[in-house]
Structure 1
Amino acid sequence: MKKTIVIVDDHVLIAKALEGIIDNFKEFEVIYVAENGKDMIQKFEDHKIPDIILLDISMPIMDGFETVIWLKKHHPEIKVMALSMQSDEKSVIKMIKNGAKGYLLKNTHPKDLEDALTKLNTDGFFYPEWASKIIYSSFNNDDSQKAVKISTREKEFLKYTVTELSYKEIAEIMCCSPRTIESYRDQLCEKLDLKTRVGLAVFAIKNGFAES
């Protein structure tokens, strides 16, 4: 069964062009298009909830920054890929911190888009090299992270932060209680001066724990 996608973009021609491209992909299909975050929310009431959302940033009424926050609160199971013309550090970091699991530019080649969607679906996240450099650089000025000691179990926990597994599911895999997992999370957030799972996931990717 194909993974379902909703495109949220106020540029109708771009959205329709994307829809045509994606509908030729083997594993994905666009089920509808929304013009902004508010339009998307309204369509959620009468339409199927998608697996993935391709989300523009600059939109009237309710932009991408607001929309991804709403999605994180109300539909955390949806994987959000920012698809924008904006490649500045502020926009990338803000979208990732707000809850986006991936970031692509609109001039991306269709084959690269398909590969990115596949990676997003299987791994739970996708950032091209240029975006990864921006994300990683956001940690470079934090000297407190350089001398942090991370236990073997904490490293194992970090590996799972980049997935879509819930903390309860991570606890089952690691053969411990959800409370222990919460303890790992809280200890790492304190050690690394981070506040969210996204921050932990980015740290895990930057330091190679996601691949261990």
Structure 2
Amino acid sequence: MKKTIVIIDDHLLIASALSSIISSFNQFEVLYICENGMDFQEKLNHKKVPDIVLLDVNMPIMDGFETAKWMHKTHPQILIMALSMQNDDSSLIKMIKSGAKGYMLKNIQPLDLEKALESLVEKGRYFPEWASKKIFENVCADEKELKEIKLSDRETEFLKYTTTEMNYKQISEKMFCSPRTIENYRDSLFEKLQLRTRVGLAVYAIKNGYSI
């Protein structure tokens, strides 16, 4: 039986193109297209609930973050694959925090799109190489061991702020310390947690209950 998909994207040409591509895949079929999260909510009242939602990050009325949070709360069985034009850290962090199980760029090749959807179904998640290698392989490699690492109160506080959209200067103001001190916290956590990016810190924080 084919896995069913709903595409939520305010760019109808892109949504239609994705739908046409997916229709050529043996394992998947598109049920319908929605312009935003609100449109999806309304259509769910009288249409079938999909197995997968391809969800645009930036949309008017009800964007990807709000829609993902709503789906995670009301339809947690739906696998959410976020769609974005850019591989920016902020959107990745927010979408993971909102409940997305996958993240891909809109310029993905058809063959890679099929593999991404297959991975989402088989493994329960899909993240492109630029994200997965830097984040999940490090964070998920030995989660139990990471939890046993002792962090100071200030490092823990800084770790929580990495899940927000604040930059390092704003975090330093929030924590009443200098930007240099914030860099010290960051570097210390990089070493303790064996991570290299803020995205890695944020994902570790979210997975271990440190997010704000």
TM-score under structure 2 length normalisation: 0.66
**For residue 32 of structure 2, what is the aligned residue in structure 1?**
32
For 1:86, the aligned partner's letter is Q
**For residue 84 of structure 1, what is the aligned residue in structure 2?**
84
**For residue 64 of structure 1, what is the aligned residue in structure 2?**
64
**For residue 52 of structure 1, what is the aligned residue in structure 2?**
52
CA contact (8 A) 2:55 2:82 kept: yes
Query: 5 Å matches for 1:139-158?
Result: 146=146, 148=148
For 1:93, the aligned partner's letter is I
Superimposed CA distance per residue, residues 14-38 of structure 1 (whole angstroms, 9 cap, x where no aligned partner): 0001000000000000000000000
**For residue 154 of structure 1, what is the aligned residue in structure 2?**
none
Question: What CA distance in whole angstroms lies between the structure 2 residues aligned with 1:72 and 1:126?
Answer: 17
Query: Cα 1:137–1:26, aligned 2, differ >3 Å: closer, same or farther?
Result: closer
Question: What CA distance in whole angstroms lies between the structure 1 residues aligned with 2:146 and 2:18?
Answer: 42
**For residue 94 of structure 2, what is the aligned residue in structure 1?**
94
Secondary structure at the counterpart of residue 62 of structure 2? coil
Secondary structure at the counterpart of residue 31 of structure 1? strand
Question: What CA distance in whole angstroms lies between the structure 1 residues aligned with 2:138 and 2:60?
Answer: 28
For 2:207, the aligned partner's letter is G
**For residue 114 of structure 1, what is the aligned residue in structure 2?**
114
CA contact (8 A) 1:10 1:60 kept: yes
Query: Cα 1:197–1:5, aligned 2, differ >3 Å: closer, same or farther?
Result: farther
CA contact (8 A) 1:93 1:134 kept: no
For 2:90, the aligned partner's letter is K
**For residue 9 of structure 1, what is the aligned residue in structure 2?**
9
For 1:75, the aligned partner's letter is H
**For residue 207 of structure 2, what is the aligned residue in structure 1?**
199
**For residue 22 of structure 1, what is the aligned residue in structure 2?**
22
1:135 deviation in Å? Answer: 3.2
Find the structure with the greater CA-based Rg: 2
Q: Mark the runs of 5 or more structure 1 residues left unpaired by the alignment.
A: 140-144, 150-191, 201-212
Query: 5 Å matches for 1:164-203?
Result: 199=207
Secondary structure at the counterpart of residue 125 of structure 1? coil
Secondary structure at the counterpart of residue 26 of structure 1? coil
Secondary structure at the counterpart of residue 59 of structure 1? coil
TM-score under structure 1 length normalisation: 0.66
RMSD of aligned alpha carbons: 2.8
Superimposed CA distance per residue, residues 80-105 of structure 1 (whole angstroms, 9 cap, x where no aligned partner): 00011031101101101110000000
Q: Mark the runs of 5 or more structure 2 residues left unpaired by the alignment.
A: 140-144, 150-192, 194-200
Question: What CA distance in whole angstroms lies between the structure 2 residues aligned with 1:196 and 1:136?
Answer: 9
